[in-house]
Amino acid sequence: MNQRAPIRAGCFLWAVCLALLSGCSRDRPLPPSLILISLDTTRADHLGSYGHERDTTPNLDELARRGILFEQVVSVCENTLLAHASLFTGLFPAAHGTMYEKDGVEPVALHERYRTLAEDFRAASYQTAGFTTHRAWLSKDFGMAQGFEHFDSSYDDADVVLPRVSQWLNGRDRSRPFFLFLHLFDVHTKPRGRPYQAKPPFLGRFTAGYNGSLGGWGSEPVEPFMHAIPEGKIQLGAEDIRHLADQYDEGLAFTDDRLGAFLAALAPEDAAAAWISITADHGEEFMEHGGIMHSSLYEEVTRIPWILVPPADGQAHLGAPRRVREQVRLVDIRPTLLGLAGVQPRGRCQGKNLVPWLAGLAQACPAGPAPLYDQALRWNGLKLLRRSGRVLLFDLDADPGEQVDVAGEPGRAEDVRRLQQILSDLAGASRALREAVMQGGQDENPELDDEELKRLEELGYVEGRARRQRGEQETGAGDAAGKRQGR
């Protein structure tokens, strides 16, 4: 059951990886630059490249055709703040402990003891810039600015924020590589107006034929209305629900258009030097399982896109174009992007670097099980879900829409037991990791009992005792270069 090949990240391996990544170009500086784009509320199956029947995302689809598309990508939860904390740290929510205010629980910012992706790049002499469009959660107050030399957080739409991003790119120091993080919120519901409202010419593109009760939508508050739908306080028919999904597609088409124009306008030297990584924090649901927006842990919420596009320098990278069928996770993005640049992550990271495997230097995908809080687990084509006091099991290969609970079928008891045990082990490991970090042991593995540690090592989830002894010593200069902003 070991999902991790015995790969040693020594000098020879990284020399091979960097040679594969850099090709033969003398013009492109090493290491490469990286652009990480997070599209808020973007479910994978509404992109054309992921099988959607509509032409919602022609620009993203074109990027996928020349890049690496990961077909089965699992987020960590249904929340923007927690998912981005996991994206930046490579840790599951129980390990990084970040929390927004909910049901009387006090909000918790990402603690400065945790290392982030931007800090890793900044310590490696990268220029770092972050632009987010959820000013409440993706902000300095919640620790999201850690490691960014330039950080811009607002509620602006793509038409406002993308010119600011271009201005930063054009004014930066071109003698150094850069790491750019861009978050777009346009697909998400807004406080007022039509849900997922797009701008012309996308407004009405998929909804023109609708004549139902939602057609006269004006300036009403959106979220109270949306929350009232699954509560049964507002009754909508199947046509109305389809209309909401149609409006969502219009918002997605608008985002794709603006993002496509931004990327097409990159300076030739930037396009030739930068990897582009496009993903999401979570998806969106349209009553497939009785919910609306993003409040559950079903596939429509937790399965997200990830498209990794090599620099446009004419060289082949990691076998692109290709589609990856193996399951990977949001937490694998941090170590993988660092791997593309040959930068070792500092501090703890539960995600796995996929670069050696993608480069053909490992036989098995190192990504392991995907826990969603302590309520769900996706692994080996199965999905365990604890909901309303019940334990559900779905065979995603046969039932990708999670319509048939097979937990009670003959022969499935062992699957349920095994997945529940893995979920429990991972939750325990995450809690122990957080306790260790908060006690000042960020670079130390948490103490686990021998039985739990053995199970996790067999899963490839933690490294063996001998391999854990190696690690990079942080220099004072590196710490100074990677210190948080605005904390």
Domain edges within the chain: 11-368, 369-464
At 182-225, the pLDDT tens digits run 999 888 877 666 778 788 999 889 988 887 777 666 556 666 77
Closest to 207 in 3D by CA, of 256, 155, 242, 176:
242
pLDDT at site 295: 76
**Topology at the third CATH level for domain 369-464:** Arylsulfatase, C-terminal domain (3.30.1120)
Q: Give residue 66's pLDDT.
A: 92
- How far the first Cα of the chain sits from its last, in Å, is 43
Contact 121, 111 (CB under 8 A): no
Helix (H/G/I), strand (E/B), else coil: 432: helix
Phi, psi for residue 341 in degrees, rounded to 5: -100, 0
Between helix 80-89 and helix 333-341 the angle, nearest 10°, is 40
Residue 459 backbone dihedrals phi, psi, to 5 degrees: -80, -10
CA dist 323 → 161, 175, 260, 334, 443 (Å): 31, 34, 21, 20, 34
Torsion of CA 109, 113, 119, 120, to 10 degrees: -130
For the domain spanning 11-368, the CATH number is 3.40.720.10
Q: How far apart are alpha carbons 291 and 231 in whole angstroms?
A: 9
Cα-Cα-Cα-Cα dihedral sign, residues 36, 126, 85, 109: negative
Instruction: Give the pLDDT of the chain (487 residues) as one tens digit per residue.
Output: 333 333 333 333 444 455 445 444 445 445 899 999 999 999 999 999 999 999 999 999 999 999 999 999 999 998 999 999 999 999 999 999 998 776 667 788 999 999 999 999 999 999 999 999 988 889 999 999 999 999 999 999 999 999 999 999 999 998 899 999 999 988 887 766 677 878 899 988 998 888 777 766 655 666 677 777 777 777 777 888 898 899 899 999 999 999 999 999 999 989 888 999 999 999 999 878 877 788 789 999 999 999 999 997 766 688 889 999 999 999 999 999 999 998 888 888 999 999 999 988 888 999 999 999 989 999 999 999 998 889 999 999 999 999 999 999 998 999 999 999 999 999 999 999 999 898 875 544 444 445 544 554 554 444 443 333 333 333 333 343 333 333 3
Q: pTM score, two decimals?
A: 0.85
Fold: same for 11-368 and 369-464: no
- State the DSSP string of 245-303: HHHHHHHHHHHHHHHHHHHHTS-HHHHHHEEEEEE-S---EESTTS-EES-S-SHHHHE
Supply 17's token pair.
Answer: 């990886």
Q: What is the pLDDT of residue 212?
A: 76
User: Looking at residue 362, what is its pLDDT?
Assistant: 85
Could you give the C-alpha distances from 265 to 19, 167, 295, in angstroms and in order? Answer: 28, 12, 36
Q: Which pLDDT score is estimated for 219?
A: 55
**DSSP state string for 109-139:** PPPTTS--HHHHHHHTT-EEEEEES-TTTSS
Burial of 13 (0-12, 13-18, 19+ CB in 10 A): middle
* CA–CA gap between residue 473 and residue 30 (Å, rounded): 23
What gap in Å lies between CA 243 and CA 16, rounded to an integer?
Answer: 51
pLDDT value of position 44: 96
The angle subtended at Cα 66 by Cα 65 and Cα 70, nearest 5°, is: 70
What single-letter amino acid sits at 459? L
